Structure 1
Amino acid sequence: MRTILILISTFLFLSLTACSAYKIDIQQGNTIEADKLNQLKAGMSKQQVQFLMGTAMLIDPFHPQRWEYVYSFRKGGEDIMKRKRVTLTFKDGVLAKIDKSQFKEKTFN
């Protein structure tokens, strides 16, 4: 009887140690694709940019001429976050400036 109890206890212990919380990948924002970004040209209208890139993640109400496309990714179970960012500036309704300086993937802890 004691042997059976020990075997059952051991089996339960080993089966429960395999249980852990599953942590999913967290993906937020606009997926920024390099080929679409390379198609952007100064002089494009807001509608053309939105058709190509999608809706901007951030449009500041105080600076509506500046559109921010932000993408972040965190792998499940890791503390490291990867982030990309592109800022588009419009003047008189047409694309005037493309800031890709933060497009390269940055890693944050």
Structure 2
Amino acid sequence: MRYLLLSACLALLVSSCSVYKVEVQQGNVVTQEMIDKLKPGMTRSQVRFVLGTPLITDAFHLDRWDYYYYLRPSNKNTGESQRLTVIFKNDTLVSVQNDKPGKSETQSPQS
């Protein structure tokens, strides 16, 4: 009986030592497929339909929408971030800036 109690306590102690890390995902998920749907001259509502509501709307830059995304997998200590900036002029889409690795710093939407 004594060994059974001791082994149960030891099993409880060992199982509580493992730490569970949660995957952290914040912001707007923007895929390349979504970016490819953007066309010059689209209205704000059309861009919002394709990309969703922007995470940040700056009161000082009304013609600029920023879409931020951050992902830290549960098995890693560091995460990846992505930023997409959409620029409007006269309420129509002018350019898209993507800082995703492997993409050009400033890219115009496909026509």
Distance 2:50 2:4 in 1: 63
Q: Secondary structure at the match of 1:87?
A: strand
Tell me which residue corresponds to 1:80.
78
Question: Where has structure 1 moved over 3 Å in runs of 4 or more?
Answer: none
* TM-score where L is the length of structure 2: 0.80
Partner of 1:35: 33
Aligned CA RMSD, in angstroms, stands at 1.8
Who is 2:101 aligned against? 104
Give unmatched runs, 5+ long, in structure 2.
Answer: 103-111
Q: Structure 1 regions of 5+ residues with no counterpart?
A: none
In structure 2, the partner of 1:44 is 42
User: How many residues in Structure 1 have an aligned counterpart in Structure 2?
Assistant: 101
Alignment identity in percent? 31
- Looking at CA atoms only, which structure, 1 or 2, has the larger radius of gyration? 1
Distance 1:9 1:61 in 2: 64
| TM-score scaled by length of structure 1 | 0.81
SS at match of 1:70: strand
